[in-house]
Amino acid sequence: MAKLTVDSLDSKGKKILVRVDFNVPLDGDRITDDTRIRAALPTIQHLMGQGARTILMSHLGRPKGEPNPKYSLAPVAARLSELLGKKVAFCPKVIGPQAQEAVAAMTAGDVLLLENVRFHAEEEKNDPTFSKELASLGDAFVSDAFGTVHRAHASTAGVAQYFKQAAAGFLIAKELQFLGMALDNPKSPYLAIVGGAKVGDKITVINSLLQRADTLLIGGGMAYTFLKVQGHTIGTSLLDAPNLGLAEELLATSKRLNKRILLPSDHVVAGAFSAEAPAEACGIDIPDGKMGLDIGPETSKRYQDEIAKAAMVVWNGPMGVFEFPAFKKGTFAVAEAVAACKGVTIVGGGDSVAAANQAGVSDRISHISTGGGASLEFLEGKKLPGIEALTNA
């Protein structure tokens, strides 16, 4: 279902309450990576251009429902002021008279940042009274925090019901456009690449991708559980033993649906899970005492060839322990191939996004999802509370 977007929202001169994702990494009060703040700029600048009064709210870290200066958003207000070239007012309260007064003091084009919404236990409980108090600050609502839309919290979902209009910001609109295409209207041949540590964590998304994609490439730690099902030896590689049955079912489902699941046919192995462990090449069967930490060169080549042929690629999860330089080649080869693919390419999930960044290919990907858990749940076909709450277009 298409949702109202911020560019179609009547925001001229209005007070617009915007949920952003300013959950940035901090070292004391120094922001070590401002990517998330920069990502919110288009929506904020659009509203400023409309002469709206933009009231921003976000969470930061896990303050567990009470005020904690360690998780204050004050440093974010300072950084946002620099990025916008305009002073952003900071309100040390989220709701109540002080917040109301801060909003009343705003003039057209002003931007105000409220303190961390998770300083209130009511936020994560999606408490209606708290939601209503938040809503009383604005005339309309905009959500641009895709990373939290799978959570039914007051500032992400509860608040929306008190507005006539609740719109998607530019970040969420782009997520809906691309992830929506992968879910409802994929281009064929559609290739899904799933990696990462455990089968159990991604079973639902694999199932959903299997229904929609033509081919599924599997890599990373989860591949060994599938190889074990096929009767291969996996040495001391990651094994998701409780989910062996599920892996077997997925392989059977792929046959039934006439879909292809491709698994690694060679590996890079080591004697220990360590960045210092010497990397060794290994065929499909892994001997005792060795663990697979990356896909091998033959597998990389097979996967690259598949990726090159795809009209649409969705990639979630690394092909190996790319954090260790000796075991990053397979993940980087996939990243490079996804970037070179002429089709629509989508990368979702924290680790594959980090891998794409490290491989230096991010600017050649059609869409990099900003929400790990949220993009997985979206691709699983689940209804996300923070999206459902928005006004239909």
- In the complex, the residues that contact ligand AMP under the rule CB under 6 A are 196-198, 201, 220-221, 238, 292-293, 317-318, 320-321, 323, 349, 351
* Nearer CB in complex with ligand AMP: 50/316: 316
Question: How far is Cα 137 from Cα 53, in angstroms, rounded to an integer?
Answer: 11
**Distances, alpha carbon 368 to alpha carbons 41, 204, 225, 375, 380, in Å:** 17, 21, 28, 10, 17
Tokens of 54: 């933009």
Question: How far is Cα 193 from Cα 261, in angstroms, rounded to an integer?
Answer: 10
276: phi then psi, degrees, rounded to nearest 5? -85, -15
Alpha helices in 50-114 (DSSP H): 74-84, 97-104
Question: How far is Cα 8 from Cα 48, in angstroms, rounded to an integer?
Answer: 15
In the complex, what is the shortest distance from the CB of residue 316 to ligand AMP, in angstroms, rounded to a whole number?
A: 7
3-class SS of residue 31: strand
Residues with Cβ within 8 Å of residue 62, at least 6 apart in sequence: 71, 118
In the complex, what is the shortest distance from the CB of residue 325 to ligand AMP, in angstroms, rounded to a whole number?
A: 12
**DSSP β-bridge partners for residue 346:** 314, 367
**DSSP β-bridge partners for residue 192:** 216, 314
Tokens of 128: 């209606």
In the complex, what is the shortest distance from the CB of residue 60 to ligand AMP, in angstroms, rounded to a whole number?
A: 22
* Nearer CB in complex with ligand AMP: 56/239: 239
Question: How far is Cα 316 from Cα 202, in angstroms, rounded to an integer?
Answer: 9
Task: Kindly list the catalytic residues.
Answer: 36, 198, 350, 373
In the complex, what is the shortest distance from the CB of residue 287 to ligand AMP, in angstroms, rounded to a whole number?
A: 16
Work out the widest C-alpha separation in the chain, in whole angstroms.
Answer: 70
- Which residue, 312, 315, 211, 205, is CA-closest to 253? 211
* Nearer CB in complex with ligand AMP: 162/273: 273
Q: Percent helix, strand and coil across the chain, each rounded to 5?
A: 45, 15, 40
189 upstream amide cis, omega within 30 of 0:
yes
In the complex, what is the shortest distance from the CB of residue 318 to ligand AMP, in angstroms, rounded to a whole number?
A: 5
Task: Please identify the residue of the shown chain whose CB is closest to the bound ligand AMP.
Answer: 196
* Nearer CB in complex with ligand AMP: 63/292: 292
The gap between the terminal CA atoms of the chain, to the nearest Å, is 8
Q: Are 203 and 243 spatial neighbours (Cβ–Cβ below 8 Å)?
A: yes
* Nearer CB in complex with ligand AMP: 139/323: 323
In the complex, what is the shortest distance from the CB of residue 231 to ligand AMP, in angstroms, rounded to a whole number?
A: 19
- Which residue, 175, 215, 208, 196, is CA-closest to 350? 196
* Nearer CB in complex with ligand AMP: 292/385: 292
* Nearer CB in complex with ligand AMP: 140/347: 347
In the complex, what is the shortest distance from the CB of residue 220 to ligand AMP, in angstroms, rounded to a whole number?
A: 4
